[in-house]
Every structure is written in structure tokens, then in C-alpha cells.
Structure 1
Amino acid sequence: METTALNPTQMHLLKTFAFNGSEEYAREVQEVLTRHFQDRLDAEADRLWDEGILDQQKLDEIRQMDLHAK
């Protein structure tokens, strides 16, 4: 079986969950992480829009793409 080294973020999360491994705590951490990355995504999308890199036409093109196709 092949082993994979954990990155620092993964190690930190493992240590955090070792402190409190309840399902409720796991959901709370998931919500916090989801909110954090959604905020980062929103900020990046705003930046792309403000710089003219992203516009409604590009959004319409993305909407038509099959993003799950391999």
C-alpha cells in the first residue's frame, strides 16, 4: 500500500480533530472552512470582474460548459 505524506494544513486539521472529534464539531469546522473559501472565491471573482477579465459573456460560456467531462 502506498503512503502519502500529509501537508501542514492536513496535519493541523488532524491535530484539531484529535482535540474534539464529535460530529457536531466536524460540521462546525466544515461550515467555517466552507465560508472561508467561499469568501476567497467571491473576492477573486470580484477582482476578475473589476479588471475586465470576467464578464457576463464569459459567465454565460462557463454555464454552457460540461465541467465534469474528462
Structure 2
Amino acid sequence: MENQKLSSLQLDLLKVYSFQPSDEDLLAVRRLLANYFSDKLVDKIGQSVEKNQISEADLDRWLNE
């Protein structure tokens, strides 16, 4: 098996866990990460929709295919 290095994000998360945060704090960190990546995805989709001139009708049609 090939050794894989941890990303900077993984290393930072390990540092957080080393402080033994409460379950409440861990849930808050998970929510922050989920919101951050969700926002990035929504932004990328918006850029793609604009760049490719995708209309609301196109999106609705795709949802109903």
C-alpha cells in the first residue's frame, strides 16, 4: 500500500481533536465545514450557470428528466 500524506486541512483538524473538544464543539466545527464547502459549491454552480447561460427552465427540465 502506498503511503499517503495528510493534507493541511487534515493536519489542522487533528490539532483540533488533540485538545479533546466537547461533542458540542465538534458539531459546531462540522457545521462550519459543511457550510463552507456548501457555499463554495453553490458559488461554483452559479458561475457555471452564468458562464454556460443555463436558464431556470433548463434546470427545471433537468430536474424532471
**TM-score normalised by length of structure 2:** 0.71
8 A Cα contact 1:49 1:55, kept in partner: yes
User: What is the Cα-based RMSD across aligned positions, in Å?
Assistant: 2.6
Identity of aligned residues (%): 23
Structure 2 runs not aligned, ≥5 long: none
Structure 1 runs not aligned, ≥5 long: 65-70
Alignment partner of 1:36 is 2:36: yes
Question: 1:15-54 maps to which residues of 2 (within 5 A)?
Answer: 15-52=15-52, 54=54
The separation in 1 between residues aligned to 2:21 and 2:3, in whole angstroms, is 24
Query: RCO greater where, 1 or 2, for CA within 8 Å and sep 6 or more?
Result: 1
**TM-score normalised by length of structure 1:** 0.66
